[in-house]
Amino acid sequence: MMTPPPLGLYIHIPFCRQRCDFCAFYLEIYRESRAEAFVRSLMQEIERSGQRHVAANRPVQSVYFGGGTPTVLTATQLTAILSEVHKHFTLASDCEITVEAHPSTISEQGLGQLYRAGVTRMSFGAESMEDGDLARIGRPGAVSETVTAVTQARAAGFTNINLDVMYGLPGQSLESWQRTMARCLALAPTHLSCYALTVEANTKLADNIHRQRSQAPDEGLQIEMDEAAQRMLGNAGYERYEISNYAQPGYACRHNLLYWTSGEYLGLGPSAQSYLDGTRFGNIADLTAYKISLAANRLPIEDRARLSEKEQLRDAVIFGLRLIRGIPSHSLHQHAANYGHAAITAQLFAQQLIEEDGAHSRLSERGRLQADTIAGQLY
């Protein structure tokens, strides 16, 4: 009998204390009573979903608490959610369990509680290591809190620590970005995610740019920043394994790798997305509707799309090209044949935006800088 493939579990905590200027995610402003009611609904969702997957004997290889800001919940609430997961799913013995955290929402005691409950990885949203940058993007908190958070996480026992940072922020220069990188490196995280700032519609940042109160990201400067990050992190022994992700050897994020390798994951919580058995589905992005659905004993799934084999291959190609190791060349060529993309694919090779070394195809260094455009062309 074939062993069923492992499953990742994503748990979406939809609360933040306030909205950062650049953020377009679905979220609710944290209130204690809202959070308590949400946790009760989430427990119901875990129980109902678990019944199906335990029956299918699917081991869980990773659990990822994302948001929003998971750590606006108390460590007691987060560990209770994790206990519920243990009760209703079968976790692999080496399961990676990540909690995303805003550095100003954690405490030494809370981190200790998470560590003892089995959390294996903390991911801190640093965003920048310059206070001026944080102020200009309306990001609450201070750099000193990131430093304290990492120190406290280590003291609590965590050895696997990620920092999220962004580049191309208003007023950020190449030099200040390099200072952010250097300060991150001084904290010796095992993993760094470096994202180029994008301006999403209907955000305060978009409005500020429109009113000329803030600068729009400069694409040329972002390219230089990306190159600087690659150089500095490469010199420090980090391996770039995906366009935005760097890790010390052995510390690539197992959960996020599922997204780029057509792995299967189940999303729980409002707006969480899932991919299982060739079907994509998503939960309703509305906290009240989410609670009503679960109170009525219904899973809060809003939309569902079964992918054909061609569509599954298309997604595997488009997401897989984000990986530095690339994808099997035959997959790219088969996808090009399926969708009539042979000419555009040949052109991407001719322009040296995609490169091939026999068995594997990948974005070139230049191609990585245009990854979203290339994904659009190959869709």
Binding residues for ligand SF4, rule: CB under 6 A, are: 16, 19-20, 23, 25, 27, 67-69, 102, 125
- Angstrom distance (rounded) from CA 90 to CA 50: 9
- Smallest gap from Cβ 68 to ligand SF4, in A, equals 5
Residue nearest to ligand SF4 (CB): 23
Nearest CB to ligand SF4, comparing residues 161 and 327: 161
DSSP string, 138-149: T--S-HHHHHHH
- Residue 69: which of 137, 124, 134 has the closest Cα? 124
Distance of CA 351 to the CA centre of its chain: 30
Nearest CB to ligand SF4, comparing residues 132 and 234: 132
Backbone angles phi, psi at 307, to 5 degrees: -95, 135
Nearest CB to ligand SF4, comparing residues 16 and 243: 16
- Smallest gap from Cβ 111 to ligand SF4, in A, equals 18
Please say whether the beta carbons of 222 and 196 come within 8 A: yes
- Smallest gap from Cβ 350 to ligand SF4, in A, equals 39
- Smallest gap from Cβ 28 to ligand SF4, in A, equals 10
Please report how the helices 219-235 and 174-186 are oriented relative to each other, as an axis angle in degrees rounded to 10. Answer: 30
Please say whether the beta carbons of 127 and 168 come within 8 A: no
- Smallest gap from Cβ 322 to ligand SF4, in A, equals 21
- Angstrom distance (rounded) from CA 310 to CA 320: 15
Pairing of strands 15-16, 28-29: parallel
- Smallest gap from Cβ 125 to ligand SF4, in A, equals 6
- Smallest gap from Cβ 21 to ligand SF4, in A, equals 9
Nearest CB to ligand SF4, comparing residues 161 and 316: 161
296 exposed, middle or buried (CB, 10 Å; 0-12, 13-18, 19+)? exposed
Nearest CB to ligand SF4, comparing residues 68 and 320: 68
DSSP run (H or E) holding 217: none
- Smallest gap from Cβ 240 to ligand SF4, in A, equals 23
Nearest CB to ligand SF4, comparing residues 49 and 128: 128
Backbone angles phi, psi at 297, to 5 degrees: 70, 25
Beta-carbon contacts of residue 93 (< 8 Å; ≥ 6 apart): none
The CA-to-CA distance between both ends of the chain, in Å, stands at 35
Nearest CB to ligand SF4, comparing residues 69 and 274: 69
